[in-house]
Amino acid sequence: MIKRLFATGKIAALLALSCLLVQGAGASLAQTVLLNLGDGVHGRAQYHAGRSDRPVVLFVHDFLAAPSAPVVDALARRLDRDGVALLVPTLSLGIVARRDPLACEAIHTHIFEQDLVELRQWVDWLLGKGRTRIVLVGLRYGGWQAVALAGQLLSPAVQAVIMISPQTPPPSDADLPALRSAAAAGARDLMRQPVWHCPSYVGPADSIYSYVNWDAAKLMQAVKRSTVAVRAIVGGRDKRLDAGWRTRLDEAGALVQLVPDATSFRDPRHLGSLLELIVASLIIEG
């Protein structure tokens, strides 16, 4: 059932946070973690170590993004108040210790499945630190990948998925059978196709196919099959998340939590409600 939740409070001060340092009374210093992902690639993450008796949040960024999102900074500070640990990896996308967002027009050789492999390695890193309760939180496309990741993990430590603004993909005119055949044949010629928010994504067939093939139908199947709770927090005025899309998520089994006046959680008037919903979910699921 879709739940309607109303924004409360103003937290504009949260937007002034640094992505490397969580400031304020009782706040903790973020650690930079480098992880050997294999094949000469090292992943990079920011880790806010909370209390060992509290859950840990693994945050998955939006498509091609890096950890400069105000939502991440605000979330780090809010979770720190409750002693909740936060791990924010930056997917390498084939680049050693990547720090910056990757442009749509860059040459993309990474694929969807490689992203999930990296995220599983970060889950293993958390397990190695003795973390027994993990909640996956994904922003926009990161929510899709968080659901896909949860479906692959066998560890009981992963207890829930929270999708933030899990928007529907824009229409694509990609010829999926042709892309699939070219990818299977190992074709390395560069192509241009619309992929998610990128009107001109550049890469070989396997990279393009891996992302456009993980479509809305696959997401709904993954939500239906999920063995852990899936929540979707959406803005009521976000035109990329219309009532039909919210209903599909609801019917697939996700708990859709609606902040009616929000268009984007970049707005500090609604960011506070988002943070409190995440914390409430951690109490219930974590």
Q: How do residues 56-115 score in pLDDT, each as one tens digit?
A: 999 999 999 987 777 888 999 999 998 999 999 999 998 888 889 999 999 999 999 999
239 near 98, Cβ under 8 Å?
no
Instruction: Report the number of secondary-structure helices (H) and strands (E) in the chain.
Output: 8, 11
Q: How far apart are CA 36 and CA 96, in angstroms?
A: 10
Examine residue 193 and state whether it is found in any structural domain, yes or no: no
Q: Which two tokens stand for residue 193?
A: 């196709």
Examine residue 69 and state whether it is found in any structural domain, yes or no: yes
Q: How far apart are CA 75 and CA 46, in angstroms?
A: 13
Q: Cβ contacts of residue 152 below 8 Å, gap of 6+?
A: 116, 120
Q: How do residues 102-135 score in pLDDT, each as one tens digit?
A: 999 999 999 999 999 999 999 999 999 999 999 9
Q: Give how many domains the chain has, as a whole number.
A: 1
Examine residue 37 and state whether it is found in any structural domain, yes or no: yes
Band of residue 28 on the pLDDT scale cut at 50, 70, 90 = low
Report the candidate in 58, 68, 73, 255 with the shortest Cα–Cα distance to residue 166.
255
Half-sphere exposure of 79 (CA within 13 A, CB side): 33
Distances (CA, A) of 73 to 27, 46, 69: 12, 11, 7
Overall pTM surpassing 0.85 (yes/no): yes
Q: How do residues 205-234 score in pLDDT, each as one tens digit?
A: 999 999 999 999 999 999 999 999 999 999
Q: What is the pLDDT of residue 98?
A: 86
Q: Which two tokens stand for residue 191?
A: 């192509």
Q: How far apart are CA 29 and CA 46, in angstroms?
A: 10
Report helix, strand and coil shares of the chain as percent, to nearest 5: 35, 25, 40
Write the CATH number for 20. Answer: 3.40.50.1820
Band of residue 286 on the pLDDT scale cut at 50, 70, 90 = low
Examine residue 208 and state whether it is found in any structural domain, yes or no: no
Q: Which domain holds residue 8?
A: 3-101+110-169+227-285
Q: How do residues 144-197 score in pLDDT, each as one tens digit?
A: 999 999 999 978 999 999 999 998 877 777 788 999 999 999 999 999 999 998
Q: How far apart are CA 24 and CA 236, in angstroms?
A: 32
Examine residue 218 and state whether it is found in any structural domain, yes or no: no
Burial class, 46, CB count within 10 angstroms (exposed 0-12 / middle 13-18 / buried 19+): buried
Of 81-95, 201-215, 239-253, 261-275, least confident by mean pLDDT is: 261-275
